Structure 1
Amino acid sequence: MLQGNTISDIAVRLERAMQDRTAVVGIVGLGYVGIPLALTAAKAGFNVLGFDIDSPRVDQINQGKSFIKHISSEAISEAVQSGKFEATADFSRLSEPDAILICVPTPLTKHREPDLSYVENTARAIAPRLRKGQLIVLESTTYPGTTDEILKPIFESTGLKSGEDFFLAFSPEREDPGNPDFGTSTIPKVVGGDGPDALAVADALYSRLVVKTVPVSSSATAEAVKLTENIFRAVNIALVNELKVVYAAMGIDVWEVIDAAKTKPFGFMPFYPGPGLGGHCIPIDPFYLTWKAREYDIATRFIELAGQINTRMPYYVVNKLAEAVDRSGKAFTGSKILMLGIAYKKNVDDMRESPSLKLIELIEARGAHVDYFDPYIPVIPMTREHAELAGRRSTALDAATLAAYDAVLIATDHDNVDYKLVVDHAKVVVDTRNACAKAGIPEGRVIKA
């Protein structure tokens, strides 16, 4: 435990511990954000203690086994065997780390309002073990003010004071699962703190982990940065989704339009349409700001409109699918549909907020039956919104299987799918990702949606 007579002395000592890597780093939440961060910190030379409420997951990690496709078991095993990384479900050990990084989910409720229960429960688990000289950093995406308005009061209820006894900061995660070009250590990290000492200490830690830190004036500013990044994407995806519908009515291929437009060397950035939004950020984060803005009596009309457009995309896709099946001479009610891809994006085993789940729900509500193929997700796991789909298994993908279905719906454009096989043997192909065209297959019977 770090000792000192004044807070500035404690800050200096903790900063020095970050610099010479003698500080112990604790990470709460060992998922798609926490595991890469833990491995990065261990590789940088820190001793890392990871916390998770999922005991089987903890055991799996300590055995050197990965549960995430793009993170190898070798990487976890190396970190564990080096003695630099240990996972635990024992939250009484939260007093051990000098820095605790919170990487837990921040979903929406069924009413599309922020659900901070994971963050609050984590804070309440930390509070009884909070000690003088610790750094606490929230990485979970949330609305501006969460660190100051939610975490700070919980921690200060112990009698310790932020800026006097402990340091509090916000540094949003910027993970992009499955992206081969950018990993945790090569992505710049935004850092905001509750006061200059907190910022300095947090910056001292992250500057040892990532290629570059981007200090900002406050934790609320850092929270706003993360929302801005994802709202930017959500709004632009909504724009191209709307253009897709308009251009389809005109007989124009929106993907061809975008590919031509992106040749302009300035003033244009390509975004691509899809069957709906998925992942842990884009479908959720804009609504955190929308909810918070109501406190200031401000209507976020642009953001809400984008949300409405994006959430309607699965309905548009199902209508296109039904039309395609009907035109083939088969009634949609009673038809058999094979969905290619259940992950929210290509080449990952991540199903968080996947639009494929909504697509299955809508298709089956109209009387058709859906099976799926996904090389990365052999079984649909339990989800909060679609519990009834849990346990369904991926089918085979071969000529006989394809021919047995009335239509194939491409919902995720995994690279390791033989799209020529699909087009050659499926009765009808509806492509929401332009996967067939990208694979060089003539359009023919492929219907874009």
Structure 2
Amino acid sequence: MERILAQYKVYSATVTIKDVDGVGLYLVQEPYLNPELKRTVEKFAKSLLKSKVNVTYERVLRMVSESKVEGDPELLSYYVFKKVKYGDLTIPIYDEKVERVECYGLGIPVKVVHTTFKNYLRLASNLIFVDQRELEDLQDRFNLGKDGIYAESYTPEGHKVVEYKSEEGFQLEVIKRFSATPSVSKVCRDLKCNFDALAYLWEGMEQGGLYVIGGNPYATKALMNSILLLSKSDLKIVTIESSPKFNFEGRNWLKVDARISSEDLSNFLAASQPDVLLADMRLNLLKSLLSCPCNSMMLFTDLRSVRDIMSLIVSYLGKRYKYLFLARLSGIAIYDKDLRAYSVDKLRRKTVVRRLNLSPKALALRNKGGLNDIVERLHSRREFLERVVEDNVSDEIQIRQILREYLGK
């Protein structure tokens, strides 16, 4: 069964989102360009590449229109722009509804993460590279090095590009929502976040504990990145990721590749003694992570239900680590169109996970703090978040000043 879910324009190309037997597709259809116009496109592209200026579509359109060459200026501008930017990746990169582009090598469809159709996790596209030279050209366009197994760079548009290399070739990922300094106001506004749930997670992270964060990893990591940047600047932060999304430049920050062995990770964590640990939830590393004595830990997974998260972890861990996990678990949060938070209550030998309705009781009991104090802090955090988002405050100095008004930091 085939259904068209959406259709829209990106420059002169048409993007169609389809569901075919439960599989989500991202299809790019380009207008026809005859051989004569192709030669015109080549001339414009050669001129722009030679000038080495930062090319925008508007600049190309203006140049083509002023030249008064034969042919539709928008059609020509589209192909020139595609030629000088990122080739077949140009449309998904410039599609504002796409937040991530993944290229897994020759002969494999490019995948995209779409902001509107996240229930598919990834949409397979009809964009397929068949020539190694095209991929090598992209390496040059993205200013990625040819040595080492990992490289990263930033595009002029501010997107982060990461590259993984192996004997079979290399893979590219363009992370469009990555920001060098993720602002809490922008992230919350983009994601339309539930402030109650985020305030609870923020409070819990600062008090300490283990939280499992499920759902869209791009959204959850952006949220926690922006919140953690508001915390004390002297915290030692360790991130463990298979695909880097966090950015704590200028902080006490150590990065670890999630492909590390369990033994090496245990030794690293014992030596580094982080205050905050943010990690992809890889089952083979779970025991090492649970043994880490850090104050706050957040594990990120793309699972989207409490039942799935708990079942997977508990069934994987042995008896000893199962009880260690349940003893350390402080809460669960899931982002799927909105952020939902769940508190964890320890009732005798039973652990109960409940949907949070701004109930700080679990926090107060766990930390032996006054309930009224925690209620007041939660409301202050919520009011701070509401204000910076409503007033669209992007300046970090101003955000800090407002934070001091509400929380005295």
What's the TM-score once normalised by structure 1's chain length?
0.30
Higher-strand-fraction structure? 2
What's the TM-score once normalised by structure 2's chain length?
0.32
